[in-house]
Amino acid sequence: MNRFLQTRAGTWTGFAAAALVLFGLAPLLLSGFRLGLLAQFLCYAVVAVGIGLAWGRGGMLTLGQGVFFGMGAYLMAMHLKTADAEFRGGPGAVPDFMELAGIRELPAYWAPFSSPAFTIAAILVLPTAFAVLLGLAVFKRRVKGAYFAILSQALAGAFAILLIGQQSLGGFNGLSRFRYFFGFTLADPVNQRMLYFIAAGVLLSVVAVALQLRRSRYGELLVAVRDAEERVRFLGYDAANVKVVAYAVAALFASVAGAVFVPIVGIISPASIGIVPSIMFILGVAIGGRASLVGPVVGALAVAWAQTALSEQFPSAWTYAQGLLFVLVIALLPGGIASIASVARRFPTKRTQVEAAA
């Protein structure tokens, strides 16, 4: 099965099957409400694919993906708010939450976001460029491992606190109550379905990009850097650049996910991008299998689904379950679900070896 999927025909078959499920079966079987939830989960899965690349293949445990997710989300939210305000009050109108906060003039840095093209460009470029700069600063100085993880986590904390302090970005409450998405009414179920298709399309494209990166020579190099960074350096590569690429791609994925997330869910606030939500992105990746391609997607979907199904009814039990999942999966099954097959295959051989030795 696995071997088949690695061939060209297998790859196309896999994508066709995924497309059939996402574009055919799911919209047919799920109600509008559930389809909306799935769309939200797909956004988390997009983040997870990026983490799988940076952490699973590149060894960079990034605990701050909420920063990039949040950047994409806030950039998109700023466009939606200015568009709404212009629809009500003409060009230069102030969004509703600013009126409530007593801000009469549209801040200068908001103005360009009335342009959809500018917004989309910003979503693609800003977080990626930020990741490149930060990555260069950190990786060139060979800050890695736990130090990098702690720094990325501190970044998430600082970013959330920074946003809470910005009244012109909605402060603690964040940005919410969007009416239009590039001219389409968000309240219309047809448009909500369109958003789901966008999320599904984004996920498939992101998986395709990740697949190409994994199978390319770059993908092999990334694994080499993960396992023996200094050896790579002594072969004449600048290992920092190799890491920066994976880190920036993961940031780009997270940013796009955040941008799609906002019109689907209708709110973005510092509470959903700080330290704890950032590390929660990791859980799904770990469960699914950090180094595999599809594992992070499956893990992220499963965790998000369980969260929705359980957290309201059994808040206490769900938190225990999350904690225990972290402990058990990481300690006992570091390869995640994706490794179950190979672990199971290894067990009998181990036993036969022991028997042979005895």
Partner 1 sequence: MNIALSCKDIVVEFDGFRAVDGVDLELARGEVHFLIGPNGAGKTTLVDAVTGLAKYTGSVVKDGEELRGRKVHHIARKGIGRTFQTATVFEALTVAQNLDIAAGAGRSPWTLLRRRRHLPPHVRATMERIGLGDRADTPAGALAHGQKQWLEIGMLLVGDADVLLLDEPIAGMGHDERETTGRLLHDIAADRAVAVVEHDMDFMRAFASRVTVLHAGAVLASGSVDEVSGDPRVQEVYLGTAKEPADAATA
Partner 2 sequence: MDLLVGQLLTGLSTGSILLLAALGLSLTFGQMGVVNMAHGEFIMAGCYTAYVVQQVVGDAGVSLLIALPIGFLVGGAMGLVLEALLLRRLYHRPLDTLLVTFGVGLVLQQAARDVFGAPAVNVSVPEALRGGVDLLGTTVPRTRLFIMALAVLAVTAVALVLRFTPAGRRIRAVTGNRDLAETAGISSRRVDAATFFIGSGLAGVAGVALTLIGSTSPTTGQSYLVDAFLVVVAGGLGRIKGAVVAAVALGALQAVFETYSTASLAKVGVFVVIVVFLQLRPQGLFTLRTRSLA
CB–CB of 288/102 below 8 Å?
no
- Could you tell me which residues come within 8 angstroms of residue 258 by beta carbon, excluding any fewer than 6 positions away? 43, 68, 69, 70, 71, 72, 73, 74, 76, 268, 273
By CB under 8 A, tell whether 142 contacts partner 2: yes
CA distance 76 to 95: 14
Distances (CA, A) of 135 to 119, 129, 235: 24, 10, 21
Residue 80 or 164 having the CB closest to partner 2: 164
By CB under 8 A, tell whether 306 contacts partner 2: no
CA distance 300 to 284: 4
Given 37, 45, 123, 134, the residue binding partner 2 (CB under 8 A) = 134
CA distance 163 to 75: 13
**Candidate segments 73-81, 224-232, 244-252, 339-347, binder of partner 2 by CB under 8 A:** 224-232
In the complex, least distance from residue 226 CB atom to partner 1, rounded to whole angstroms? 8
Tell me, by CB under 8 A, how many residues bind partner 2.
46
By CB under 8 A, tell whether 154 contacts partner 2: yes
In the complex, least distance from residue 346 CB atom to partner 2, rounded to whole angstroms? 18
- Residue written as token pair 């009416």: 179
Q: What is the DSSP letter of 184?
A: E
Residue 81 or 144 having the CB closest to partner 1: 144
Q: Is 180 helix (H, G, I), strand (E, B) or coil?
A: strand
30-49 mask for partner 2 (x: CB under 8 A)?
Answer: --------------------
CA distance 112 to 168: 15
Residue 235 or 324 having the CB closest to partner 1: 235
Residue 146 contact partner, candidates partner 1, partner 2, none, CB within 5 to 8 A by sort of partner: partner 2
270-289 mask for partner 2 (x: CB under 8 A)?
Answer: -----xx--x--x---x---
Site residues, partner 1 (CB under 8 A): 212-213, 215-218, 220-221, 223-224, 227-228, 230-239
CA distance 250 to 64: 11
In the complex, least distance from residue 333 CB atom to partner 2, rounded to whole angstroms? 11
| Cα angle: 215, vertex 221, 225; to 5 degrees | 135
**Candidate segments 13-21, 215-223, 293-301, 315-323, binder of partner 2 by CB under 8 A:** 315-323
Residue 282 contact partner, candidates partner 2, partner 1, none, CB within 5 to 8 A by sort of partner: partner 2
CB–CB of 2/295 below 8 Å?
no
For residue 84, what are its two tokens? 């709404």
In the complex, least distance from residue 176 CB atom to partner 2, rounded to whole angstroms? 20
For residue 247, what are its two tokens? 């880190």
**Candidate segments 22-30, 91-99, 202-210, 227-235, binder of partner 2 by CB under 8 A:** 227-235
Residue 228 or 327 having the CB closest to partner 1: 228
In the complex, least distance from residue 353 CB atom to partner 1, rounded to whole angstroms? 15
CA distance 40 to 322: 19
Facing residues of 180 across strands? Answer: 185
By CB under 8 A, tell whether 28 contacts partner 2: no
Q: What is the DSSP letter of 291?
A: T
For residue 185, what are its two tokens? 């009414």
How many CB atoms lie under 10 A from the CB of residue 323?
11
Given 43, 75, 94, 164, the residue binding partner 2 (CB under 8 A) = 164
By CB under 8 A, tell whether 149 contacts partner 2: yes
Residue 217 contact partner, candidates partner 1, partner 2, none, CB within 5 to 8 A by sort of partner: partner 1
Buried b (16+ CB within 10 A) or exposed e, 150-162: ebbbebbbebbee
| Residues 320-339 interacting with partner 2 (rule: CB under 8 A) | 320, 322-327, 330-331, 334
Residue ranges that bind partner 2, judged by CB under 8 A: 59, 61, 134, 137-138, 141-147, 149-151, 153-155, 157-159, 161-162, 164-166, 228, 230-231, 275-276, 279, 282, 286, 316, 319-320, 322-327, 330-331, 334
